[in-house]
A and B are shown apart, each in its own frame.
Chain A
Amino acid sequence: MKKTVLIERKTPVVGIPRALLYYRYAALWETYFRELGIKTVLSPPTSRQILEDGAAMAVDETCLSVKIFYGHVKALIGKCDFIFVPRIATFGLRREMCIRFSALYDQTRNVFRETHQRFLSYNLDANENIDQEKAFLNMGETLALGYSPAELKKAYAAAEKADQRAWREKLRAQEQILKSKGLKILLVGHPYILDDPYLGRPITDFLRSMDVLPLRADIVNRDTAIKRSLDVSPSCKWEVNRELLGGVEMLKKEVDGVILVSAFPCGPDAMTNDLVTRKVKDVPLLNLVMDTQTGSAGTETRLESFVDIIRLKKGVL
């Protein structure tokens, strides 16, 4: 007589680096894995240690944000079965992601090839007719844990819903600030710089300590932003920078100053920051470039004097 054996489905632990597009897709990614019963671990917030670890592994020409990303990947090694590194290439014509995101999965695997770490990825590429949903379904299959297509579809639907909910929450918070009274400054930068606790958060905190209300060019209705960006540049091909260009157009009349925040070196920002500098008239504008420097004095001097200039202009200093 044959014995019946129960096979337990052992789900892996997935590590998510708290860097780059995590700041855009946190709710989407975390909900998707949770729906499938997969545990996730998040790398700790960026610290000087993470930045230095990452910079030591990256080629010099890579941007600061990718260097930080490698530091986060390193922090996850040994803490999970898979490290999650999606490849997000393009959403369509003139809706491309920076080339770094197309290369991220392959590059990361190569940088960490000696650790024998396993990586998990999804490939979003409109040129191959793979949209976000399809990318997620494909990834679910590569997990090879016996999820049925229906289970995967359901998990994705829940993830997308959570993503939209989180996004609406952000929009609402920004709406609140817009309605408040006070000195408003628009921050223009990628979320992975502005939201990073080591890079961008100190800027927001410092502005708040000076009683400034910081607004964000990336937290606006994305469809409207993409449309408005066409007025500024018909040919810009970068999706996120398009959103930023449109966001600046939508908000520049509501603010007292504009601060461009970039990591060094950033190709797309190098082009669009120049565009913004020429398009934003009558509003004081500050250009901040973040590098591996540790001192905050330079940044604080620039921010403080920028706010002073605005206050001098308003006659309140």
Chain B
Amino acid sequence: MKSAYLGIDVGSISTKGVIIDDQNNILCSEYIWTEGDPIGAVKRLVRSLEKQLDPSTWQIIATGTTGSARKLVGTIVGATIVKNEITAHAVGTTTFYPEVRTILEIGGQDSKIILVENGVAVDYAMNTLCAAGTGAFLSSQAKRLGIGVEEIGEYAARSQHPTQIAARCTVFAESDLVHKLQMGHPREDVIAGVCNAVVANYLNNVGKGKKIVSPVVFQGGVSKNSGVVKAFEKALGCPVTVDPNGHLMGALGAAILARRGKGRKAFDFAVEDTEFHVREASCGRCPNNCEIICVYSGNTLIDAWGNRCERGAVR
């Protein structure tokens, strides 16, 4: 029996899973949509990974979870380590690109920048209150223009004179975009303009005050959009690398952190057949009225969180 490590990254849009060996080689991986049901997505993910893995050779001895549903999923799969997505991405990317200096990441709901020196993350920033220029903005604009989000790159590549779109704020960008369309700007120019706006917004917001040094790696769902990749290369004046496994970097990082961590616990594929449910309760013991999340496996409470103080502690 050889040791293997499982990493799961549950984001708002997609759920990613990867199993690695002691040398960080990818044994198997899976990428599915979360569809608003992180528990269901993880069960489907685990089922698919089980089919790909030879149980007579490999034994999963540590599990890491990351992404916005990391806590919930970590409870369900019995994770040995639960880490935020920034650390996971930094660890995953620097393992495969030790020479990287800047990691750009734009996901469905948020965007981040991670600065790296000598293979170690040294600084990062994340979008503050504003979600402008994330994947959600691109897909809503693609919808307005009547094209699929995956076609954006193709359209943008045909543009000769990208339209100027106000980049400061999504709301203004959208009204500006409508205005430009009504003024008669060709669709491909407007689409190229949207890609430029996403980049300008990212650099002015998340990238503000950060020194972006080449080599640059671009990740997250939006990195699959060649229009935005080209806009980044133009704005930064250097090549931007998009790894075909870029979408797995968070899960990879979680698996690597699980391997490096001290916790050891054999992973049980039985989770895919276990009934989990989550109940939300209002504490009501003080005016904060915290929303407490209780996770049950069958009828047994396995974990709870969300309370600001011990008055709301469930166990």
Binding site for B on A (CB under 8 A): 44, 47-50, 198, 202, 264, 274, 277-278, 284-289, 291, 294, 296-297, 301-302, 304-306, 308-309, 312-313, 315, 317
Contact = CB atoms under 8 A, between A and B. Distances in A.
Interface stretch (B43-51, B123-131, B268-276): B123-131
A195 B239 CA distance: 46
B179 interface: no
A309 B120 CA distance: 8
B123 A308 contact: no
B86 A308 contact: yes
B85 A291 contact: no
25 contacts: A48-B287, A49-B287, A49-B289, A202-B308, A277-B208, A277-B209, A284-B122, A284-B123, A286-B124, A286-B125, A289-B128, A301-B85, A301-B126, A302-B126, A304-B84, A305-B85, A308-B84, A309-B86, A309-B87, A312-B87, A312-B120, A312-B122, A313-B122, A315-B120, A317-B87
Contact of B87 (A44, A50, A308): A308
Interface string B285-301: 01111010000000000
Nearest to A288: B128
B121 A312 contact: yes
Chain B interface helix/strand/loop/mixed: mixed
A47 B68 contact: no
B16 interface: no
Contacts of A48: 287-289
Contact of B90 (A202, A296, A297, A312): A312
- Nearest 10 pairs between A and B by C-beta? A49-B287, A305-B86, A47-B287, A308-B87, A277-B209, A305-B84, A284-B123, A289-B128, A48-B288, A47-B288
Contacts of B209: 274, 277-278, 285
B308 to A, nearest CB: 7
B83 A313 contact: no
B308 A287 contact: no
Contacts of A291: 129
Contacts of A202: 308
Nearest to A50: B287
A296 B209 CA distance: 26
Contacts of A44: 287
Nearest to B209: A277
A315 B118 CA distance: 11
Interface in B279-315: 286-289, 291, 308
A288 B87 CA distance: 18
Contacts of B287: 44, 47-50
Contacts of A274: 209
Contacts of B120: 312-313, 315
B83 A308 contact: yes
B87 A297 contact: no
Given A44-B287, A285-B123, A312-B121, 8 more contacts: A48-B287, A288-B128, A301-B126, A304-B83, A305-B124, A308-B84, A309-B87, A313-B117
A309 B90 contact: yes
Nearest to A291: B129
A305 B289 contact: no
Contacts of B83: 304, 308
A66 to B, nearest CB: 18
B278 to A, nearest CB: 15
B135 to A, nearest CB: 17
B121 A309 contact: yes
A285 B122 CA distance: 10
Interface string B50-89: 0000000000000000001000000000000001111100
B129 A309 contact: no
A198 B122 contact: no
A74 to B, nearest CB: 12
Contacts of A286: 124-125
A317 B114 CA distance: 17
B229 to A, nearest CB: 25
Contact of A47 (B90, B91, B286): B286
